[in-house]
Amino acid sequence: MDGEIPAACARATSATENAPPISSGTADRSGALGAGWQVYNSLVGTGDLNGDKAGDLLARDAAGVLWRYYGNGKGALGGRVKVGPGWQAYNALAGVGDITGDGRADLVARDAAGVLWRYNGTGAGTFSTRVTIGGGWQMYKTLF
């Protein structure tokens, strides 16, 4: 699988699913975005994944499925969209901004062997095929 991810990881599905609930697309007075976030074992602020100038969020569930939530620029998130399965292979995910210089937000992921992978953002809320950054990253507790 070196240099590749399942096709489902490289493009979003057309179906939008709404969970955790974000009823009206706005935050309540406390700033809460809804309940149910405990279903995720990783939340990653990625910057703007779709070019709308609003920050977005990725969330990985216990089964390893990665979900995308677009920010609306007003402190709230839209419904979730499935990015794809297989992300349980990584013990750390980090939204690193645009590390490729193409104007699109990218994602890095570290696997259990300590190999760091780069996923280039496409500007459409999806990621291209993974590229190896290098090994030895297991010595770091967190990535950010």
Residue 34: band (very low, low, confident or very high) from pLDDT cuts 50, 70, 90: confident
> Torsions phi, psi of 137, nearest 5?
-80, -5
pLDDT interval class at 43 (50, 70, 90): very high
CB 106 within 8 A of CB 44: no
Q: Percentage of the chain surpassing pLDDT 90? A: 71
pLDDT band of 35, cuts 50, 70, 90: confident
- 3-state secondary structure (DSSP) of residue 39: helix
Model pLDDT, residue 143: 84
Identify the H or E element spanning 7. helix 7-10
Give the CB-side neighbour count of residue 117, counting CA atoms within 13 A: 23
Tokens representing 62 are 């216990």
**pTM for the full model?**
0.77
Task: Characterize the bridge pairing of strands 16-17 and 131-134.
Answer: unpaired
Which tops the pLDDT comparison, 3 or 29?
29
Q: What is the mean pLDDT of residues 85-89?
A: 97
Token representation of residue 142: 């967190």
